[in-house]
Structure 1
């Protein structure tokens, strides 16, 4: 561990110990649990800071090219933001969120759908102006996308129950169609985000709440899909959005983590309030807290990095 991280770890551990003195937090009565949770917070902050870090560097155009092995939809989104191409940037974030990053296949599924399996890329302009053509291509490409050519293209861990189908409810076709309707109904991505910020008087948390609620119109984007999409919109600089709470309603891992930390039997709203209090005391935003508590509950007494 780097010296800077070691110092941060100690500060977090002290903060957790102090919090546990004032609040009932049975999950961190053990020193090993405190060390494990503190380590997860450091890991989560580092992972989240990564997007900010790459936005400060020169990004190769090859990161935007789905026909290149260097393709990376998140770096590509940052590249597009730097050039003022907000629609394309947000579309890349949507695709990256929908398909997810697989621990072994990486971005291969996103790359091959966006890249039309070697054809002319399915850019925002291409799909929004020819949705039927995209859906037809998606339906005809099910075999190859499913691995008939020997190439594995799997969804990321957060999206492992999602379907590639162009026609089935909650499949990729349904998700893209409903996403297009949501965004175009607002007048495009820029108008969508600007509208939420205007309604929220510029408050990034209230705007996040506004969009989180309205994104329920997008098929297959439940609690975790909406949370991941909107937090990435904020991190890539597309729009100033930040979650004001850990959004535990409908959660699995994060809610289990909160129950483990604060004890069973409380209402979800109470767990959210406690998580917000802890995050504010430690100085970490709700994305860090949500991510770290979710990973911590998988191994509460021994730190294990989870990057799948």
Structure 2
């Protein structure tokens, strides 16, 4: 990730790996921030109008069947954003790193979750949280388009909350909150991504990932065509000798409710168990827990 020009996208899913219903005024939950560096300025490939596209709004290549279907619309919007961000390469082009946000709330009475893309009746899952109707909503999402400062530092990000009536500018105490920030100095080092995730009473189970999805075809858990970074989808991924990934995770515990341990699960590849850290830490005192690891020779 030493390339000064960055490609990063954002996707959000409900419990069913679907959209369900778009959040008011947010558009379809697929965003992208893609740019090249030229003469100390950033040439952006995706406009904010592109990012705000939502059901009922046409764009090139959108099929008629997806125009008013929030689930299918998001799928085709990702493909469209991928076409704007595409970087020519051999043997295949690539598109963007993917930030994925997912909610664990599930309304078991809703019948909203499909099985392999087909709707099925309500079922009784294991224990999942839900405060009532609307608990599977999409979040408010805000984009800080990458900009460059006078000292040559490039910085951008996404953030938001699931509490639709909240204003994160008033503070995030008591509400859910997610944030992803990326930063790099021109010509120096690699891109650094910082993730922050805050759960709340209404939204106690949230997930925030940085993924290298397939450039074409299915990516882990999805029954839709995706866009991403991974050009060779194989169980035997080729190593990248010059790659090094550093993980550092801080977990702050604010409530003892239903918690007896903290789990930090960091993994670079399913085929590389030596690059895995999986720690259980019993909760003895309230405070902050840290998990960290350095992975060498991983597949990226």
Query: Larger % of helix: which?
Result: 1
Query: Larger % of strand: which?
Result: 2
TM-score strictly above 0.5: no
Q: Give TM class, smaller chain.
A: under 0.3
> What is the TM-score of this pair, normalised by structure 2?
0.28
Which structure has the higher relative contact order (CA within 8 Å, separation 6+)? 1
